[in-house]
Amino acid sequence: MNTFIKRASSNMRSLAKQSSILMVAIATSAIAMASASTSALAQSQAGGKKSPAKADVTFALDYVPDGLHAPIYAAQNMGYIDKANLAIEPGGGSSLTIKLVSEGRAQVGIADAGSVSVAVAKGAKVKAIALLLKHTPAVTMVSENSSIKQISDLKGKSIGDFPEASTSVLLPALLRANGLSENDVKFVGMNFSARVPSLQAGRVDAIDGYVQEFVTLPNTFRRIIWAENNFNVYGPVLIVNNDFAQQHGDIVRSILQGFKKGLEVTAAQPRQVAEVLAKASRGDLDYFEKEIDVLHAFFADPASVNMTSEGWTAVQDVMMQFGGQAKKLPEAELFTNEFIEAQ
């Protein structure tokens, strides 16, 4: 991570300790669920017995449930997956999700493409199998009356974000793509929950995050979409444990078939899907509907969740330069479209 982010990160150690406690709790829950699903799969194959109609599969989210995960909740709770019952578990960030899936404590999950690239380069036993978002949902939020209209206008301005967030890691790449460097801005490290109050109070000129995180902000604030400012890379993707994919390809195909239907119904019936998501996660219906609405332009087309060599090359180039990835990987180690194309 670059120098100015490291400085901010050093002031957030206590927050990191608090986050680690949450991650341990999430991991413990995922372990219990994964153990049950692994046992069910093993029992279905032992002694020549017929497989059950549906296998229990643990699906690890990248964070707490929100509108980003609507297609997965729709697929599971609206009966679109014919060969698996998903135990959908909340996550503590892409890195933890990748770890859980790599170790087989969850079989499938969602993680940021950049984090997947770095983790696989370090030996993680996972592979991307479908796009969730066709490009990053990262945005920079500013006041409506701000002179900042595009990323290149950030020169000399202050930007608030959580130092360990993926948007913080990728900020130098965004700045460079728009003719700036990290020395041209002042990075202000803060907790996730402090971003919006800091912007509203004028303590920073801008804040970074994912687009759906800011749906409750009034229209006196404006979003600058990174993908429209020379930074169009993949966002979150679906990942699978390599061994699970090899041994249970039919289940993976079934999950992806259901996922595609989930994308379709999320686009066509957002209110109904928001109700499903709110009921399953005990969340706020109206808030989820707003998130789904703002993510509509980011969700992958159900007919085109396939990934490309060019797309993953762009991800790897960014992560090798700014995200700590040590080497470039063959594309076959990062992603596969085989479970989509086989449908």
Lookup: tokens for 188: 């202000």
Q: Which run of H or of E encompasses 191?
A: none
Q: What is the reported pTM?
A: 0.80
Copy the structure tokens of residue 323.
């995200």
C-beta neighbour count of 51 within 10 angstroms: 15
- Please, which pLDDT band fits residue 52 given cuts at 50, 70 and 90? low
Average pLDDT over residues 314-325: 91
Q: Over 90: is that where the pLDDT of 175 sits?
A: yes
335 DSSP 8-state letter: B
CA atoms within 13 Å, Cβ hemisphere of 36: 12
Other residues' Cβ atoms within 10 Å of the Cβ of residue 182: 17
Please state the rounded mean pLDDT for residues 123-140: 97
Superfamily of 137-228 according to CATH? Periplasmic binding protein-like II (3.40.190.10)
Which letter does DSSP use for residue 51 in this model? P
Q: Is the pLDDT of residue 5 over 70?
A: no
Cα dihedral 167/73/194/12 (nearest 10)? -60
Mean pLDDT, the chain, rounded, equals 86
**Above 50 in pLDDT, residue 76?**
yes
User: Which CATH number is associated with domain 20-135+234-341?
Assistant: 3.40.190.10
pLDDT band at 128 (very low <50, low <70, confident <90, very high): very high
Residue 22 scores a pLDDT above 60: no
- Mean pLDDT, residues 250-272: 97
Q: What is the pLDDT of residues 218-234, one digit of tens each?
A: 889 999 999 999 998 99
pLDDT average, residue stretch 141-159:
97
pLDDT surpasses 90 at 34: no
- Measured CA to CA, the distance from residue 1 to residue 46 in angstroms comes to 48
Which pLDDT tens digit goes with each residue over 103-119?
999 999 999 999 999 99
DSSP β-bridge partners for residue 210: 138
Write down the pLDDT at residue 16: 38
* Alpha carbons 94 and 100: distance in angstroms, whole number: 10
- pLDDT bin (cut points 50, 70, 90) of residue 341 is low
Give percent of the chain above pLDDT 70.
84
- Taking 70 as the threshold, does the pLDDT of residue 31 lie above it? no
- pLDDT category at 157 given cuts 50, 70, 90 is very high
The answer to whether the CB of 61 falls within 8 A of the CB of 42 is no
**Listing from the earlier edge strand, what are the strands of the sheet with 108-112?**
84-89, 55-60, 108-112, 236-241, 126-131
Check: CB of residue 100 under 8 Å from CB of residue 62.
no
**CB proximity list for 193: less than 8 A, separation 6 or greater:** none
Q: Cite the residue boundaries of each domain of the chain with CATH code 3.40.190.10.
A: 20-135+234-341, 137-228
Residues in the chain: 343
Q: Give the Cα separation of 63 and 51 in Å (integer).
A: 32
The answer for residues whose C-beta is within 8 angstroms of residue 131's C-beta and 6 or more apart is 234, 235, 237, 238, 300, 304, 305, 306, 307
Q: How many Cα atoms within 13 Å fall on the side-chain side of residue 191?
A: 10
